[in-house]
Amino acid sequence: MNWIEVFLIPFIKSLVLILALLTGFAYMTYYERKVLARFHVRYGPNRAGPFGLLQPVADAIKAIFKEEIIPAHVDKWVYLAAPVLALIPALIAFAVIPIGPDLNLFGRQVSLYIADVNIGFLYVLAVASVGTYGVILAGWSSNNNYSLLGALRTAAQMVSYELPLGIILVAVVLTTSLATGEGSLSLVGLVQQERPWWVWLWLWVAFPIFFICMLAETNRSPFDLPETENELVAGFQTEYGGIKFALFFMAEYIHMITASAIMATVFFGGWQGPFVDRWPALGILYFVVKVILVLFLFLWVRASVPRVRYDQLMHFCWKFLFPVSLVYLAITAVLVALL
């Protein structure tokens, strides 16, 4: 058995990916604070290092050296497991996302994804559905009414918004069969496929719906109902402090990066771009730029839209997004059948 192919290369790839994501998280907080500051006509962090670039490092050191407090009234094991359960799905979703085309590294053909599985789309949905547990268990184990309310809201919110999300993804899968006649559920295959311009236009029609669902899935403003500071005092995170709070923070931001990567891959061609054929390394750059642009949308929405009420959130999902996504799926199915 070729152990280099089977164990060593995936291991190194995973390690690099996780390190990149953690660094990405650190600078995502910086990015968010700077962008929000611009929206508020402020400067944002600018004291630690040039342009405040060392601010994430300072924050990390502060979080690590804070005193570990485990409140006496919590359910200890579940309380400690919850932040981990929140973080893991955010990290492993990246396994099926292609970051760039195949590269020649050290005389070896290296693919820039961890797994090209034929169930890529389903894998994304499965990981998204498991992501709920961290928040629910955190809320329950905290033994605190505010936390429990936040957790229950999360459960309802995430289960509801997964429906339109999944239906849009089904429509995207349907369009993959247009070019070759054989559809595929692989994200790697999706990026490599050539698609005519009207397919792109039709996909972009669905992008706003998908983006709204992703906002709700990642618990971002205006759908950050699980942690509403002013009515639930940060909801499921109330009883968490120090590095455990930082883990939840990390989970939320890495979820955001993963969601942006999925959207960049599905709707904007992933690593594709001009001159990628000649310099494959350029693909990574295109991918990163696209992810950063989609991330900007998250921040833009946060800076400009107020939080919705909980009943509005549920009505919006079930009475607007869900029917609209069903109609979109039906039209896509007819188009694919006719063409």
Partner 1 sequence: MQLVLFFVLALLAVAGAVGVVLSKNAVYSALALLLNFAVLAVFYIMLNAQFLGVVQVIVYAGAIVVLFLFVIMLIGGQLAPDALTAGSRRPARVVALIAGLVALAGLAYGLVSGALAPQTGQVQGSGSVQAIGRVLFTDYLLPFELASVLLLVAMIGAVVLARKPTKS
Interface size with partner 1, residues (CB under 8 A): 26
Beta-bridge mates of residue 105: 108
Please tell me the distance from the alpha carbon of residue 189 to that of residue 305, in angstroms, as a whole number: 36
CB of 130 to partner 1, least distance (A): 6
Q: Which range of residues in 129-137, 194-202, 242-250, 277-285 is near partner 1 by CB under 8 A?
A: 129-137
State the binding string over 68-107 for partner 1 (x if CB under 8 A, else -): -------x--x-----------------------------
Binding piece for partner 1, criterion CB under 8 A, among 22-30, 44-52, 144-152, 275-283: 144-152
Positions in 149-208 near partner 1 (CB under 8 A): 151-152, 155-156, 159, 162, 185
Across the chain, the runs of DSSP E, i.e. the strands, are 100-105, 108-112
**Which residue, 185 or 188, has its beta carbon nearer to partner 1?**
185
Residue 163 CB neighbour total at 10 angstroms:
16
C-alpha 179/C-alpha 339 separation (Å) is 10
C-alpha 287/C-alpha 134 separation (Å) is 29
Q: Alpha carbon of 219 to those of 38, 157, 161, 228, 260: distances in Å?
A: 23, 9, 11, 10, 14
Judged by CB, which is closer to partner 1: 139, or 164? 139
Peptide linkage before 222 cis (omega within 30 of 0):
yes
Residue showing tokens 């002013």: 230
Q: Which range in 59-67, 128-136, 280-288, 303-311 contacts partner 1 by CB under 8 A? A: 128-136
Tell me the two tokens of residue 252.
């939320």
Instruction: State how far the Cα of 150 lies from the Cα of 140, in Å rounded to an integer.
Output: 9
Q: Which stretch binds partner 1 (CB under 8 A): 52-60, 112-120, 215-223, 287-295?
A: 112-120
**Residue 165 or 299 having the CB closest to partner 1:** 165
State the minimum distance, in angstroms, from the CB of residue 336 to partner 1: 14
Quote the least distance from Cβ 255 to partner 1, whole Å.
15
Confirm or reject binding of residue 125 to partner 1 (CB under 8 A).
Answer: yes
CB 190 within 8 A of CB 182: no
Give CA angle at 267 (261, 269), nearest 5°: 80
Structural tokens at position 313: 């959130």
Residue 236 as a binder of partner 1 (CB under 8 A): the answer is: no
List % helix, strand, coil for the chain (3-state, nearest 5). 70, 5, 25
Which member of 129, 143, 192, 193 binds partner 1 (CB under 8 A)?
129
Judged by the rule CB under 8 A, the positions of this chain that interact with partner 1 are: 75, 78, 117-119, 122-123, 125-126, 128-130, 132-133, 136-137, 139-140, 148, 151-152, 155-156, 159, 162, 185
